Structure 1
Amino acid sequence: MMRNHQASGEERTRGLDRGALRYLARRRQRDARGTHRRSARRGDPRRDLCRAGTRHTTVGETPLAPGSAMPVIGETITLALEEAAALVRERRVSPVELTDACLARIETVEPRLNAFVTVTADLARAQAREAESDIGAGRYRGPLHGIPVAVKDLFATKGIRTTAGSRILANWIPDQNATVVRNLHEAGAVLLGKLGLHEFAYGISSVNPHFGDVRNPWDTTKIPGGSSGGSAVAVVAGEAYATLGSDTGGSIRIPAALCGCVGLKPTFGRASLFGAVPLAWSLDHPGPLARTVRDVALATGAIAGYDPRDPVSAERPVPDFLEGIDQGARGLRVGVPTDHVWEECDPAIAGTVRAALEMLARAGADVREIRSPRAAEYAKAAATVLGVEARAYHEGAFPGRSAEYGPLIRARLLSQGDVDADAYARAMRLLLEARAGAADHDLDGVDVLAMPTVPTRAWTIEEAKEVGRPSEWTRITRIFDLTGQPAISIPCGMDPDGLPIGLQFAARMWDEAGALRAARAYELARGPFPLPPLDG
């Protein structure tokens, strides 16, 4: 397995197998950082925040009230991004302390999970010190300032290896950042590293023959979903407060569903694709994953915006995605499609999603069944576009360097690119019609659509390695990659195998606020969702 941990031997933490939290507690007592000393150091009682590694740890279960005691530093890894940001803003916790806690957590859990391809420890500590200095001087940039994040390893990062999960790009070191990475930097975020993925983002499992398989933190014999598997795992395992992924057929929402976090695919063109290794130009969407809906809203606001270097970037104002997000379920009109999305759905998943919608209805939402007659047509067209455009992108290296590709992507490139021009033209015409307003007509009379994110249960790692294994994983999610409409996945329960189940909401073009409001309304009705029982 090829890994690149950018940290000197001096800076690499020793003895973390004996407990990252104990190490950080000792270091915090030892360090003399006057800027961020707090009353909790004097032995004041700590708030009983849930510790990482305890069964049914939850995010945001015990919000920190103004004036409350500061949490033990190791416990900050279970906070929601918004809660950690409040502590940083109030100078009750240092960005350096948050970063050290995340790096220690990475060292502890990575041998089991393999969420990262590259850990940028030196850079993260330098950025954290800079954030600490700026905030101390009154130059606070906003809620991501000083917050440790990580990005999928297909977004270019200046001076940092960017592999797209492939041997083909194993030694590529970009000379500039992708726009979404630059936007995170300008927001003051701290970059912990690059996250594992399915090779070239062309798959749903995140098994990877070049950099090792990403593993589901709920059951490490199972896949985390993909292609942004590392992005979801890092969030739920407490390695980062938010992450970036990309979504072409469901690659943000599928791992969010299987790992138990929130993942948003924004409207096509909302966030720039400049500097992202493409899978299919017409379908690719960058977007965030985090532990709560409000956290995802904050991260979306940070990465969104017009970019003249991206030809599909939309010159539209970026709204405040938190505005109206807490309106709750009352008055929310939710349409549940009866076409396509429930077909071949695992009964346990279907039952859990329907129970979640009943909960939303009890909270005051108007939940009704509706027709979505073009859903199957959209799903088929998305598969056509993806196959043709992926094959076109790889024509410079495939089949000439086919031996350097892993077996799964090699098989897909061989089988899915053979589409005649007429079929591709018909699919692209349907895409253009959908994005011009046809797909929004499916929401006539409702605010959002609701359905399962993934219709089937997670495979084992070994099952996922079987070339040619039939899959309908993206049959629901890829609809909205074709239409370009925003769609979000939020966990709504557990399947019989003990893995999370995702509930998906989709809204009209440019109405991320509507999707976020619906997901937040369900989140408020549901209550905190547990984190996986990782020890140490």
Structure 2
Amino acid sequence: MNDILLKSATELADLLVTGELTSVELTTLSLERIKKFNPTINAFLHVDEEGALATAAEIDARRAAGEKLGRLAGIPIAIKDNIVIEGMPTTCGSKMLDGWLPPYNATVIQRIRDAGMPIVGKTNMDEFAMGSSTEFSAFGPTKNPWDTDRIPGGSGGGSAAAVAAYMVPLALGSDTGGSIRQPGSVTGTVGVKPTYGAVSRYGLIAMASSLDQIGPVTRTVADAAALQEVIAGHDELDSTSLPNPVQKLEELVNAAGDVKGLKIGIVEQLSGEGFDKGVSEQFDATIARLEEAGAEVVTVSCPSFDYALSAYYLIMPAEVSSNMARFDGMRFGLRAEPTEGPVTAERVMAESRGQGFGDEVKRRIILGTHVLSTGNYDAYYGAAQKVRTLVQRDLEEAFAKVDVLVTPTSPTVAFKFGEKVDDPMAMYLNDLATIPANLAGIPGMSVPCGLSQGLPVGFQVLAPTYRDDLMYEVAAAVEAGAGNVPGSCPAVEWENN
């Protein structure tokens, strides 16, 4: 394997500045690796070789002319297939949108283009971001580069696998209940859900609007910091966008390392029982390293977390039911007409949605429609929103006592394909530790902390709203203490097999 691809995005950016590497050379290496290994991994649904190389050549020319460029100019990036790019196929992993070419760019895409980053393609995902394993894509599952018999997490398994397999140094994902962080945990990558509203959602095809958040997928905390600086900032096109200035996160990460005086809280409800032994051992070892570095570690209780998973799986399907209503064969998406009988609006909708949506999407639409129906709204959806408020209050009280909260990111390491696909409840439990951050809108990050059964384990850092900087500071200390993940992803050696 070319050693260039093993370097972090920030290391590559430095090589581009010094002239030791060109963007065309780097992008070509990335595209060649995608071409060679994507048939095995299925991380990409679409590759834009021509467009990526054209951007790379433009950046090289501008750099040669002495133009001042952004920090990540010339670094290739992959985009989860629910973020729209003008003229590039966007499917959300669904037959419903197969072949659709968006007429506009998402705000994050415009910012990436303005930063001069070549977009190499769109990555695979669970259909409309509904899943925890990327087994629910209409275009086949993505495989985990650590073990191709295992899942890469979901819904953003394609972005995580692409970064873990050294196909690209950077990717974007979306996180509704853990869809960046859980794939990060099981693929040994860094996955970040910024504070809700810190990154514009304009151009993200909505799953559950009050929970969705775009964020970075990288191999190092510094890379995530640099990428978040590119995509963050207020956007007038997104009514939930925060007016806060963009934080200088990479600078903070590079200066981080001293956690003396920081108070770190272990969430009582998200540790111990329900987590694999190996996951708990790596979590405990990471806590011990933080204590050795001078952090004060205490246990805090968030009683409402016992009900967070149930509340999420009522609020999220309700919003899914509303957001998916537009895909009816008449306004948006696949149109399928009945083969027999009259062609009525009702029958066209039924046929289109029946053919266009997969089982998991249908399951969530049905559940969401049920909880919003007359007679059930207060009992289910209304009660779930009350639990959401309790989660927010518990977190406020916890952050009054500690600087950050920490948990294992996922209860298990990557499981094998088919192991949970027929058991929705077992699948939903993968989001146990990640969901509270989405319900409360706080930032969360998964950073690799070790191995269990030869597979990556993720350590989650949660910080108060607007304190993404504090989250990055602690995550950098975790990364430094772990020496990144001990061992190397087998993807490094694929060329030799």
The TM-score with structure 2 as length reference comes to 0.89
Q: Is residue 383 of structure 2 the alignment partner of residue 383 of structure 1?
A: no
Structure 2 counterpart of 1:402, from 329, 332, 354: 354
Q: 1:430 Cα shift?
A: 5.0
Matches of 1:199 and 1:229 in 2, distance apart?
A: 11
Q: Which runs of 4+ in 1 moved over 6 A?
A: none
Do structure 1's residue 272 and structure 2's residue 229 form an aligned pair? no
Counterpart-to-counterpart distance in 1, 2:127 and 2:102: 18
Give the C-alpha shift of residue 356 in structure 1: 1.2
Name the stretch that deviates more: 389-398 or 108-117: 389-398
The runs of 5 or more residues in structure 1 that have no matched partner are: 1-51, 53-73
Q: Residues 103-114 of structure 1 correspond to what in structure 2 (within 5 A)?
A: 103-114=31-42
- Map of 1:187 onto structure 2: 115
Preserved contact between residue 337 and residue 371 of structure 1 (Cα < 8 Å): yes
1:421 aligns with 2:377: yes
Q: Distance in 1 between matches of 2:182 and 2:131?
A: 11
> How far 1:417 moved relative to its partner?
4.2
CA contact 1:198–1:226 (8 Å) conserved in 2: yes
2:448–2:484 contact (8 Å) kept in structure 1: no
> SS of the residue aligned with 1:418?
helix
Residue 270 of structure 1 deviates from its aligned partner by 0.4
The amino acid across from 1:410 in the alignment is K
Aligned to 1:532: 489
Please state if 1:232 is matched with 2:156: no
CA contact (8 A) 2:130 2:136 kept: no
Aligned partner of 2:266 in structure 1 is 336
Match of 1:455 in 2: 411
Matches within 5 A, 1:86-101: 86-101=14-29
The equivalent residue for 2:209 is 281
> Which one-letter code corresponds to 2:269 in the other structure?
D
Is the 1:166–1:199 contact (alpha carbons within 8 Å) kept by the matching residues of 2?
yes
CA contact (8 A) 1:236 1:531 kept: no
Amino acid at match of 2:445: I
1:337 positional shift = 1.2
**1:257–1:501: 8 Å Cα contact kept in structure 2?**
yes
Q: Report if the CA contact (8 A) 2:126-2:155 is conserved.
A: yes
Deviations 1:56-80, CA, capped at 9 Å, x for gaps: xxxxxxxxxxxxxxxxxx3211000
CA distance in 2 between counterparts of 1:408 and 1:432 reads 27
Matched, 1:349 2:279: yes
Corresponding residue number in structure 1 for 2:451: 494
Amino acid at match of 2:452: D
State which drifts further: 367-376 or 323-332.
323-332
Moved more, 98-107 or 134-143: 134-143
* 2:458 equivalent to 1:517: no
* Residues in 2 aligned to 1:136 and 1:130: alpha-carbon distance in whole angstroms: 10
Is the CA contact 1:260–1:531 (under 8 Å) kept in the aligned structure 2?
Answer: no
8 A Cα contact 2:126 2:137, kept in partner: no
Separation (CA, whole Å) in 2 of partners of 1:384 and 1:313: 25
**Could you say which residue in structure 2 is the equivalent of 1:205?**
133
Partner of residue 10, structure 1: none
Measure how far apart 1:414 and its partner are.
2.9
Equivalents in 1 of 2:465, 2:27: separation in Å? Answer: 36
**Are 2:438 and 1:508 aligned?**
no
Shift of 1:467: 5.7
Q: CA RMSD in A?
A: 1.8
Residue equivalent to 1:163: 91
**Corresponding residue to 2:290 among 355, 360, 374:** 360
Alpha-carbon distance between aligned partners in 2 of 1:127 and 1:485, rounded to the nearest angstrom: 35
The aligned residue for residue 173 of structure 1 is 101
Mapped to 2, the partners of 1:340 and 1:528 lie a distance apart of: 23
- 2:45 pairs, out of 105, 111, 117, with 117
Instruction: Kindly indicate whether the alpha-carbon contact (under 8 Å) linking 1:387 and 1:413 is maintained by their aligned counterparts in 2.
Output: yes
User: Shift of the alpha carbon at 1:438?
Assistant: 5.8
Alpha-carbon distance between aligned partners in 2 of 1:507 and 1:345, rounded to the nearest angstrom: 22
Query: For the residues of structure 1 that align with 2:137 and 2:425, how far apart are their CA atoms?
Result: 17
Matched, 1:480 2:432: no
Distance 1:344 1:527, change over 3 A: same
Q: Aligned partners of 1:418, 1:499: CA distance in 2, in Å?
A: 39
Amino acid at match of 2:233: G
2:8 to 80, 102, 106: 80
Shift of the alpha carbon at 1:327? Answer: 2.7
Aligned ranges for residues 35-50 of structure 1 at < 5 Å? none
**More displaced, 404-413 or 201-210?**
404-413
> CA 1:386 to 1:518, structure 2 compared with 1: closer, same or farther past 3 Å?
same
Residues 1:347 and 1:507: Cα distance change in structure 2 (over 3 Å): same
DSSP-derived class of the 1:493 partner: strand
Are 2:299 and 1:369 equivalent residues in the alignment?
A: yes
Aligned-partner SS, 1:463: coil
Return the offset for 1:444: 1.8
Aligned residue pairs total 462
**In the alignment, is the contact (CA less than 8 A) between 2:112 and 2:230 conserved in 1?**
yes
* 2:250 is aligned with 1:293: no
Identity fraction in percent: 35
Q: Aligned partners of 1:208, 1:118: CA distance in 2, in Å?
A: 17
> Which amino acid is the alignment partner of residue 398 of structure 2?
D
Q: How many Å apart are 1:351 and its aligned residue?
A: 1.6
Using the size of structure 1 for normalisation, the TM-score is 0.83
- Select the structure that is richer in helix: 2
1:250 counterpart residue number: 178
Shift of 1:403: 2.6
- The one-letter code matched in structure 1 to 2:219 is R
CA contact (8 A) 1:235 1:261 kept: yes
Partner SS, residue 473 of structure 1: helix
| Structure 1 stretch displaced more, 460-469 or 214-223 | 460-469
**CA distance in structure 1 between the partners assigned to 2:273 and 2:139 by the alignment:** 35
In structure 2, how many angstroms separate the alpha carbons of the residues matched to 1:132 and 1:502?
Answer: 36
Counterpart position of 2:345: none
Q: Distance in 2 between matches of 1:261 and 1:209?
A: 21
**2:133–2:155 contact (8 Å) kept in structure 1:** yes
Residue 464 (structure 1) shift: 4.3
The answer on whether the counterparts of 1:223 and 1:460 sit within 8 Å (CA) in structure 2 is yes
**Residue 384 and residue 341 in structure 1: after superposition, are their counterparts in 2 closer, same or farther (change >3 A)?**
farther
Distance 1:489 1:454 in 2: 9
Find the counterpart in structure 2 of residue 444 from structure 1.
400
Residue of structure 1 aligned with 2:151, choices 205, 218, 223: 223
| Stretch moving more, 366-375 or 386-395 | 366-375
Whichever residue aligns with residue 421 of structure 1, its letter is Y
SS at match of 2:308: helix
Q: Report the Cα distance in structure 1 between the residues aligned to 2:181 and 2:108, rounded to whole angstroms.
A: 18
Cα 1:269–1:438, aligned 2, differ >3 Å: closer, same or farther?
farther
Structure 2 gaps, min length 5: 329-348
The offset of 1:364, in angstroms, is 1.9
CA–CA separation in structure 1 for the residues paired with 2:293 and 2:327: 53
Q: Provide the residue aligned with 2:232 in structure 1.
A: 304
Paired position in structure 2 for 1:41: none
- What's the secondary structure of 2:249's corresponding residue? coil
Instruction: Show the counterpart of 2:333.
Output: none
